[in-house]
Chains A and B, each alone.
Chain A
Amino acid sequence: MAKARLVPGLSAQTRYADAATATIAVRSDELFEHAAGVLDVTQIEAVHAMRVATRRLRSVLEFYEPCLNPDQLEPVLEQVCELADVLGQRRDPDVELQALAAFAAAASEAERPGIERFIASTSQQQQQANAELSQMLEQIAADDLRGRLAALIAPPPEPVAAPEAAVDPEPSGQPGDDAATEPAADAPVPAKSGWLRRR
């Protein structure tokens, strides 16, 4: 099983929301790096590696849930869970077939037909699961799961200054009363889509 990559700079004192950004970025990259070759049923470790990466990503999304925008997180987490399920459905027959091959090799001639029948049934499950995985991979590409994961941890955009023309030439406050037209420097930034939640 592939080792999880280190998350640089993570420490006990790291702000929870900052740790969310750093960790989700690393785990998202890992997921997509392991996507190559997963539909090849002769290379079963590829599915395993992607499945583990999906589990790790799911786990960190759940762990950092309070730091993330719930409206963005929910559909992303749902799709990551679906992907994990589909990868699991492919992985189970992969492992089973490997164990059955060893069992068949140790069996007597008389026992082999029954074991081969069971192997055929498991192979059918594997093919079906592979077809579902293929569809799922197309779906996550079409839905831009990678982009939505990036958006989930995107830093807040720079505040945009109001264009000159939009400024009211006759502010309602008294002339020279800056407080009437300018927000306080320490005013809270309203939460927007794509922002990490701040309290």
Chain B
Amino acid sequence: MKARKVKQLDPDGTLADNAQRVVAVRIDELYDFVPAVLNPKRVKRLHEMRIAAKRLRYVLEVTSSACFGPYALTATKRVRELQDLLGEIHDCDIQLPRVAQIRAELSADAVTELGRRAGGAADLDPALASSLPHSEDWAGLAALEHYLTVRRGLLYDRFISVWQDIERSAMRARLEYAIAERPSLTTSDAEPAEII
């Protein structure tokens, strides 16, 4: 997913004014994934939302304490929390198909072997299905698949809860207000930018 182009950036302008324009666009990008991501099956959209959160987080990391009002730092932490959570959901979404693929490959091997054992018989003797290749692997792979499925569900529930908190706390409005604020000159002159 490509980042949206930010217009009217001016190399001769101040860092804060330019950063304000960039952050405003990155906020829009993040919020555009709602309501799509309120459906747990929208795997790709959840992944893209994570990338949008990452983009917003990194630009805030560079600029929040030097350029903006104090809420920008709070928002940076919330966005990072969101990004981490979406990252863990993504890990499950990547691992689950891999477990399923390995199970499918092993299953295909077992079926081939059973077919070989059957020879050209008119029907299949149940005894031939015993001790097929990879039978020792099923329990572990099933346990892993179940674990990842349930963990993904729990993480998604947590994501919904974090997102509701973000909405309730009016993060968007407060961050948009904060990026229009400028720290007092005395503060910014005295201290270098604090970056997380």
A95 x B11 contact (CB < 8 A)? no
Smallest CB–CB gap between A19 and chain B, Å? 4
B193 x A7 contact (CB < 8 A)? yes
A6-B189 contact, Cβ under 8 Å, with A14-B15, A56-B58: no
A115 x B58 contact (CB < 8 A)? no
> Interface 1/0s, chain B 67-99, versus A by CB < 8 A?
110000000000000000000000100110011
A59 x B59 contact (CB < 8 A)? yes
B139 x A63 contact (CB < 8 A)? no
Residues of B within 8 A of A199 (CB): 10-12
Residues of A within 8 A of B111 (CB): none
A15 x B15 contact (CB < 8 A)? yes
Q: Which residues of chain B in 128-149 are interfacial with respect to chain A, using CB atoms and an 8 Å cutoff?
A: 136-144, 147
- Interface bin, chain B: 35 or more
B11 x A118 contact (CB < 8 A)? no
| Residue A114 is within 8 A (CB to CB) of chain B in the complex | yes
> Interface 1/0s, chain A 9-36, versus B by CB < 8 A?
1111111110110010000000000000
B140 x A11 contact (CB < 8 A)? no
A10 x B15 contact (CB < 8 A)? yes
B143 x A16 contact (CB < 8 A)? no
- Interface bin, chain A: 35 or more
- Is the contact region of chain B dominated by helix, strand, or loop, or is it mixed? helix
A19 x B15 contact (CB < 8 A)? yes
Q: Which of A16, A19, A55, A107 contacts B58 (CB 8 A)?
A: A55
Smallest CB–CB gap between B177 and chain A, Å? 15
B137 x A114 contact (CB < 8 A)? yes
A12-B183 contact, Cβ under 8 Å, with A67-B11, A113-B136, A198-B11: yes
Q: Which of B9, B94, B147 contacts A92 (CB 8 A)?
A: B94
Complex formed: what's the CA distance from A95 to B17 in Å?
39
Residues of chain B touching chain A, judged by Cβ–Cβ distance below 8 Å, are 3, 9-19, 22, 54-55, 58-59, 61-62, 66-68, 91, 94-95, 98-99, 102, 136-144, 147, 182-183, 185, 188-189, 192-196
